[in-house]
């Protein structure tokens, strides 16, 4: 008789759970990021099916490139929205795709440079006193979007939205604390189902689109077109997605207890991320990136298995070809997505604080106080800095400021000017 599985210790190899449970866990990951995967193509004016397809394919490519060592699900990137919107309005969507391909290609070159020079420079430009608040800001700056999705920021809050939000959040929070056995690792999926049932009961789910959708449908593939002006409008986004990627890899490393910057290596994960974006542009989908929601799922469930992520990718690909199923998933209302995100974004924020605790950051040193304080205030103040058509704000701007400040402190140390050495 096999020994019972101890879910509290973290699951790194999901094979021992069996295929049905692996697929359930995979579905949980797909549902966690589904709100964004529908919203981004909606804002670009394209069918979400191609995005579901590329999210799955991109994730499988990422897993292969990182040698199956980095549990990350690739979803649609918000970083491209502003510059891509400008390109789409001026040139058309095909030229935005050309920009996505170009950014992905440059990102692959960046990965090669990191492969040659290593990743230790991150400890200089983002020491723990800086990395902690930067990671925390990934979740904290997204918190308003969770509240907005739930309808909690409307001038008049709809009681139905509030009920669905509270049911979803309640199942996610209390389920993560009270559920035992296998249920303890799928509180997010259970919360989505409970919230959806509550939404149907409240009458805020419209099934008319599902009835009209075909059973099977082929995603809309589109070829890119290239224009240098369009490419230059989108290209500065490489700074944003690189900062986000490093932050995501650091927080994932802390959650799973393994340094992903070292093994499989930052060069591999950045290459996988950008190669997926390049392929996305080539077939007509939006850029992909590692996703905060899925990092939050791992933090809540303690399931760190790459097999589960691969299962989520396969489910996403299948959904992209089943018209009624992909349309049904699109009917998940905002209050359900908001209720889930409310917890997941907060978990990312606490992961940033965990970096400060685990690294034993000494706040008796003025430099650490200054670094953390300036980064938090920069990220939460709403300050915006524009470089052409690219806007730096929130976590990304805070990351840039933190890197500059850390480099200045490093130079002061080398010149023996600091008073805390």
- Each residue's pLDDT tens digit, 189-219: 888 889 999 999 999 988 888 888 888 888 8
pLDDT at 98: 96
One-character DSSP codes across 386-406: EETTEEEEHHHHHHHHHHHHH
Give residues with Cβ within 8 angstroms of 298, minimum separation 6.
71, 252, 255, 256, 304
pLDDT at 112: 94
**Closest to 247 (Cα-Cα) out of 396, 79, 347:** 396
In this model, does residue 293 exceed pLDDT 80?
Answer: no
CA–CA separation, 239 vs 327, rounded Å?
34
CA–CA separation, 87 vs 64, rounded Å?
32
Average pLDDT over residues 391-415: 87
Spacing of C-alpha 247 from chain mean position: 10
pLDDT at 390: 63
- Each residue's pLDDT tens digit, 71-97: 999 988 767 876 787 788 889 999 999
Q: What is the pTM of this model?
A: 0.76
Q: Greatest CA span in the chain, whole angstroms?
A: 71
Q: SS3 of 79, please?
A: coil
pLDDT at 6: 64
**At 281, which helix (H) or strand (E)?**
helix 266-283
- Report angle CA 148, 151, 153 to the nearest 5 degrees: 60
Domain locations along the chain: 11-410
């Amino acid at each position: 008789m096999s020994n019972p599985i101890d879910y509290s210790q973290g699951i790194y190899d999901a094979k021992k759970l069996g295929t049905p449970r692996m697929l359930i866990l995979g579905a949980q990951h797909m549902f966690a990021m589904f709100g964004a995967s529908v919203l981004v193509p909606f804002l670009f004016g394209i069918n979400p099916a191609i995005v579901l397809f590329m999210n799955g394919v991109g994730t499988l490519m990422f897993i292969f490139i990182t040698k199956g060592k980095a549990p990350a699900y690739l979803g649609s990137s918000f970083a491209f929205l502003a510059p891509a919107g400008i390109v789409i309005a001026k040139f058309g969507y095909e030229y935005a795709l050309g920009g996505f391909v170009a950014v992905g290609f440059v990102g692959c070159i960046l990965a090669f440079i990191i492969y040659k020079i290593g990743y230790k420079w991150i400890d200089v430009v983002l020491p723990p006193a800086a990395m902690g608040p930067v990671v925390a800001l990934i979740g904290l700056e997204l918190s308003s979007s969770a509240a907005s999705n739930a309808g909690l920021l409307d001038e008049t809050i709809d009681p139905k939205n509030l009920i669905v939000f509270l049911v979803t959040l309640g199942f996610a929070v209390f389920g993560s604390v009270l559920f035992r056995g296998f249920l303890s690792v799928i509180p997010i999926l259970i919360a989505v189902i409970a919230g959806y049932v509550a939404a149907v009961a409240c009458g805020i789910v419209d099934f008319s689109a599902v009835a009209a959708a075909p059973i099977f449908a082929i995603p809309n593939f589109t070829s890119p077109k290239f224009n240098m002006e369009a490419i230059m409008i989108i290209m500065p986004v490489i700074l944003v997605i690189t900062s986000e990627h490093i932050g995501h890899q650091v927080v994932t490393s802390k959650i799973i207890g393994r340094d992903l910057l070292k093994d499989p290596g930052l060069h591999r994960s950045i290459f996988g991320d950008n190669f997926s974006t390049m392929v996305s542009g080539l077939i007509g989908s939006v850029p992909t990136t590692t996703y905060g929601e899925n990092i939050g799922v791992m933090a809540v469930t303690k399931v760190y298995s790459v097999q589960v992520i691969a299962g989520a990718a396969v489910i996403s690909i299948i959904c992209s070809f089943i018209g009624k199923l992909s349309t049904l998933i699109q009917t998940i209302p905002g209050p359900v997505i908001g209720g889930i995100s409310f917890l997941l974004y907060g978990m990312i924020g606490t992961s940033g604080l965990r970096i400060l605790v685990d690294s034993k950051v000494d706040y008796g040193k003025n430099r650490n106080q200054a670094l953390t304080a300036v980064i938090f205030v920069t990220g939460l103040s709403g300050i915006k800095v524009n470089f052409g058509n690219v806007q730096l704000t929130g976590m990304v701007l805070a990351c840039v400021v933190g890197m500059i400040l850390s480099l200045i402190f490093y130079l002061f140390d080398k010149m023996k000017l600091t008073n805390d050495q």
